[in-house]
Structure 1
């Protein structure tokens, strides 16, 4: 069965970090500058995305220790949701892909994102079920080759039977080098066209010239 791997931020949902930070600061009782400098600029979010704190509880505890901002999972989700806007056509394309094969997320995000996704994007979570792969779970970030191999291994797929879409050209190029069918996301209509082309590739190859 074909495997369809989808990025999340700026592919399924638009994302604007500037709308998130003020709410995190308000909920945590610290300044935006303090949060940005002690967590993001210090490289802690990237470490989290690479699997440093493998559970949501561990992530939130470390976030509180480093920044002084103690947040519940629900508060973290509420703040991040303010930065997210659903791309309707992309979510529709995801539903279509799930009807054609196995669909899964493949996103550079920390463990807390994975745990909070049903709160932030219930439409996506309802389509994907447990297929919510994030870099924190796999221990490696895109565009490293290993993340694509681990995702395919998880679902028993081969590169020639795998579709991957992402707004990052670097991530797309890395997957393409492995023989994965890729699509650099720009618009939902083009994404839907790419899914059609991928799903029809065997039929097309089998037609007489």
Structure 2
């Protein structure tokens, strides 16, 4: 069985934090500066991404304690979704990959993100069929080796039978170091994403010689 792992932010969906932060400030009545300088600069989001908060309620309580901003999950979702734009070529590739093997997210994100996927990612939620791995569940962030080995363990596959598509060079190198195939999604000169390159890498993986070493494309 082949497994096709897709990152979310800037791989399946373009992501702009500068659209999210102003809306969070508007919804909560707490300044952008306070939100950014306490929660994000203070390392709390990073901690959430490795499982510091086991539930969305715990995350939102901690967010309120640290920033003074009391948000409902619906408000959190609204601000997160405002920062996300589908990358149509990548989403089409994920749907195609589902016909070639098993597809899964592999994303550095906190529990509220996982809980909110039906709202945030309606274009892919059905094809994922519950394969929505996030770092908060796996207890490690890309590019740490253990997130890859834990993700592979969820599907019971060898590293050589899995590929990661990700915009981060560090994450791609981390996957390769763990024995996986990997492809970095880059942007063209006009700012568009090179989804044709991603599709090409996907087909090369699907058609590979299984006795060959993992791809370095």
Equivalent position to 1:188, from 195, 208, 212 = 195
Please show how residues 134-153 of structure 1 align to structure 2 within 5 Å: 134-153=134-153
Gaps of 5+ in 1: none
Gaps of 5+ in 2: 187-193, 213-217
Q: Give the equivalent residue in structure 1 for 2:204.
A: 197
Q: TM-score, normalised by structure 1?
A: 0.95
Measured in 2, the distance between the counterparts of 1:59 and 1:24 equals: 15
Question: Counterpart in 1 of 2:95?
Answer: 95
**3-state DSSP of counterpart to 1:100:** coil
Per-residue CA distance 1:13-54 (angstroms, 9 max, x = gap): 001100000110111111111101110011100000011002
Counterpart for residue 31 of structure 2: 31
Which residue is 1:6 aligned to? Answer: 6
CA distance in 2, matches of 1:51, 1:24: 22
TM-score normalised over the length of structure 2: 0.92
- Structure 1 runs (4+) deviating above 6 angstroms are none
Matched, 1:18 2:18: yes
- Cα deviation code 1:58-80 (max 9, x no counterpart): 11111111111111111111101
1:149-160 correspondence runs (5 A): 149-160=149-160
CA RMSD of aligned residues (A): 1.3
Hey, what does 1:85 align to over in structure 2? 85
Aligned to 2:111: 111
- Shift of the 95–171 alpha-carbon distance from structure 1 to 2, 3 Å rule, reads same
State how far apart, in whole Å, the 2-side matches of 1:50 and 1:155 are.
20
TM-fit CA distance, 1:202: 3.6
Q: C-alpha separation between the residues in 1 aligned to 2:142 and 2:211?
A: 31
